[in-house]
Amino acid sequence: MINLGKDLSRLLSKDKVKTDPEDLYSYASDSIRYYAKNNPDAVILPSSAEDVSTVIKYANKNSIPVTPRGAGSGLAGGCVPVDGGIVLDMKRMNSIVEVNRGNMTAITEAGTVLSNFHRAVEKENLFYPPDPQSMSVCTLGGNIATRAGGPRGVKYGTTGNYVLGLEFVLPDGEIINTGGTCVKNSVGYDITHLMTGSEGTLGVITKVISRLIPLPPCKKTIIVGCKTAELAAQIVSTITANGAVPAMLEYISQGATGFLNSYIKTPLISEMEAYLFLELDGIESQIENEANKIRSICKDLGVSDIRVIEDAKEAKSYWDARSKLQPILQSFFKKLIVEDVTVPRDKFPELIRALPEISAATGLLVGAAGHAGDGNVHPSVLLGEVNDETNKKSEEAVDMIINEAISLGGCISGEHGIGLHKSAYLEKSIGKRQVELLKQIKKAIDPDGIMNPGKIWTREAK
Ligand SMILES: Cc1cc2nc3c(=O)[nH]c(=O)nc-3n(C[C@H](O)[C@H](O)[C@H](O)COP(=O)(O)OP(=O)(O)OC[C@H]3O[C@@H](n4cnc5c(N)ncnc54)[C@H](O)[C@@H]3O)c2cc1C
């Protein structure tokens, strides 16, 4: 007869095992407020890969589901333990083992909070660009497992572009190392990048080897007010087509600007249908050149509100406001569904055009903010009241958004992953054959299906 709490306390130590209902409750959901029907049966806080291995061997032997969890900041339900079992909370594994200036690489434990990692490498004049807006809480392990991105994706790519190697624990408990500190590696199948985006379904990431680049010496923020959403979309595609590559190019729709104004010195103008927030980085002459190019594109397109922010503190206030947008909206509305779709960059205007139509068709507020420079938009469906009717309408709105992205040649997730939220759309997005391949890979690595069951594809489609 198994007794999870007792068994695991004996195998590890008591302080690493939680079984009190009030502790377990907070592990039943993620940031989009997906809840498991029941609490997990136990939460484990490992402090080493060996601890993780011990837990997984025990779970494997007793067919107990295991759900890895970073900070629980995910927006697709990935860390929600839908079948109960064990949640592995990785946040005690938070050491930055090495920052190697000569090789421009770093080794960190998977529970390291992203902003702590940013600070550590920047002290060495190095740069780790991936910047999910949850960076003050989310972990590197969670970022890799969801292949997270952020505003800087437009110039620098996303988390997957910076993972050189991993230490992870397989579903049978064996600890393995893939990739390494070499920046080139062409040895067999790329298991490192198979784990990247695997959402905790293939094993538990315990250590990460990351590629770093030199820290850009200068940056400049430009804020552009656009009379129409279409104009904003046109500016985005013209900037891209003209070869200017901002480090960040964010789109903010009219509905959101009012919420940001309490953070910003010179308020955004409420009549503008959209704002673009841009950051340029690099050496000074390059920034000047790009700023001039952007200014002249905006002027040619008839923009009157162009703010080039010289003061670093003021620039930070715009970016702080941008990164707080989702929590701010969450505090004003009863329910917020943040979508995450990506379209080819030249289709960005069409996606933006479709949103008011979706709003009109469902009678719900549909706002948009997103990393417009790389075609990744986060339309949000905002509910003032939550009842059966608004819930049904919000599902319709989400369905329309996702279908619109697919019809434009886009993909159903740019950075949040599939989790529970998008599993019903997987086959439509990548086709039956690819879904079968994913399942075969899963079966080969996790034959008993103990790792994060219920995620990525729907059970009916099994
Ligand atoms: C305010 C806010 C802003 C956000 N902005 C962005 C953004 O700009 N870009 C973006 O990409 N995302 C964003 N997100 C979503 C979220 O922060 C990211 O998905 C993040 O990468 C999740 O990290 P986490 O540590 O919280 O992982 P969790 O939410 O705990 O887990 C996410 C998934 O990863 C798996 N996992 C976690 N750790 C491990 C591990 N060590 N080994 C194996 N699997 C693991 C889990 O099982 C789950 O499937 C935002 C979320 C919020 C709340």
Is the pLDDT at 37 greater than 90? The verdict is no
Residues with CB under 6 A from ligand 1: 30-31, 67-75, 78-79, 90, 110, 132-134, 138-139, 141-143, 145-146, 148-150, 199-200, 204-205, 326-327, 415-416, 419, 452
Ligand 1 centroid from CA 267, angstroms? 32
Ligand 1 centroid from CA 147, angstroms? 9
| Residues 93-214, CATH architecture | 2-Layer Sandwich (3.30)
Ligand 1 centroid from CA 93, angstroms? 16
d(CA 114, CA 131) in angstroms, rounded, equals: 8
Instruction: Burial-class residue 2 by CB neighbours within 10 Å (0-12, 13-18, 19+).
Output: exposed
d(CA 109, CA 142) in angstroms, rounded, equals: 12
Ligand 1 centroid from CA 335, angstroms? 20
Distances 103 to 106, 107, 108 between C-alpha atoms, Å? 9, 11, 15
Return the SS3 of 70. Answer: coil
Is the pLDDT at 461 greater than 80? The verdict is no
pLDDT given for residue 460 in this prediction: 60
Q: Place 462 in a pLDDT band, splitting at 50, 70 and 90.
A: very low
Higher pLDDT, 450 or 230: 450
What pLDDT, in 10s, does the model give residues 204-234? 999 999 999 999 999 999 999 999 988 998 8
What pLDDT, in 10s, does the model give residues 282-319? 999 999 999 999 999 999 999 989 999 989 999 999 99
What pLDDT, in 10s, does the model give residues 57-79? 999 999 999 999 999 999 999 99
Average pLDDT, integer, range 374-380? 91
What pLDDT, in 10s, does the model give residues 127-184? 999 999 999 999 999 999 999 999 999 999 999 999 999 999 999 999 999 999 999 9
Nearest to 419 by CA among 380, 453, 376: 453
d(CA 115, CA 342) in angstroms, rounded, equals: 25
Point out the ligand 1 atom lying closest to the alpha carbon of residue 205: 42
pLDDT given for residue 257 in this prediction: 86
Identify the residue whose C-alpha is closest to ligand 1 atom 13: 132
pLDDT given for residue 162 in this prediction: 98
Domain 216-328 coded CATH 3.40.50.1220: no
Q: Place 452 in a pLDDT band, splitting at 50, 70 and 90.
A: very high
Question: Distance from CA of residue 2 to its chain's centroid?
Answer: 37
Burial track 348-385 (b if 16+ CB lie within 10 A, e otherwise): bbbbbebbeebbeebebbbbbbbbbbbbbbbbbbbbee
Tell me 384's DSSP state.
S
333-417: which CATH topology?
Alpha-Beta Plaits (3.30.70)
Return the SS3 of 261. Answer: helix
Identify the residue whose C-alpha is closest to ligand 1 atom 6: 132
What pLDDT, in 10s, does the model give residues 312-337? 999 999 999 998 888 888 888 999 89
Q: Place 36 in a pLDDT band, splitting at 50, 70 and 90.
A: confident
Average model confidence (pLDDT) across the chain = 94
What pLDDT, in 10s, does the model give residues 91-138? 999 999 999 999 999 999 999 999 999 999 999 999 999 999 999 999
Using an 8 Å Cβ cutoff, are 173 and 56 in contact? yes
**H/E segment holding residue 98:** strand 96-100
pLDDT given for residue 363 in this prediction: 96
Q: Place 265 in a pLDDT band, splitting at 50, 70 and 90.
A: confident
Ligand 1 centroid from CA 119, angstroms? 19
Q: Place 34 in a pLDDT band, splitting at 50, 70 and 90.
A: confident
Identify the residue whose C-alpha is closest to ligand 1 atom 11: 148
Point out the ligand 1 atom lying closest to the alpha carbon of residue 206: 41
Identify the residue whose C-alpha is closest to ligand 1 atom 44: 200
Domain 4-91 maps to which CATH number in 3.40.50.2300, 3.30.43.10, 1.20.58.340, 1.10.10.10?
Answer: 3.30.43.10
What pLDDT, in 10s, does the model give residues 192-204? 999 999 999 999 9
Point out the ligand 1 atom lying closest to the alpha carbon of residue 417: 19
Ligand 1 centroid from CA 75, angstroms? 7
Ligand 1 centroid from CA 261, angstroms? 28
**H/E segment holding residue 179:** strand 175-179
Return the SS3 of 312. Answer: helix
What pLDDT, in 10s, does the model give residues 350-362? 998 899 999 999 9
Point out the ligand 1 atom lying closest to the alpha carbon of residue 78: 49
Is the pLDDT at 383 greater than 60? The verdict is yes
d(CA 31, CA 451) in angstroms, rounded, equals: 21
Average pLDDT, integer, range 379-394? 94
Nearest to 153 by CA among 78, 247, 87, 76: 247
d(CA 315, CA 308) in angstroms, rounded, equals: 9
- pTM score of the predicted model: 0.95
Starting from the edge strand earliest in sequence, which strands make up the sheet with 204-211, in order? 96-100, 105-109, 204-211, 163-169, 175-179
Probe residue for ligand 1, chosen from 31, 44, 52, 75 as the CB with the greatest number of ligand atoms within 8 Å: 75
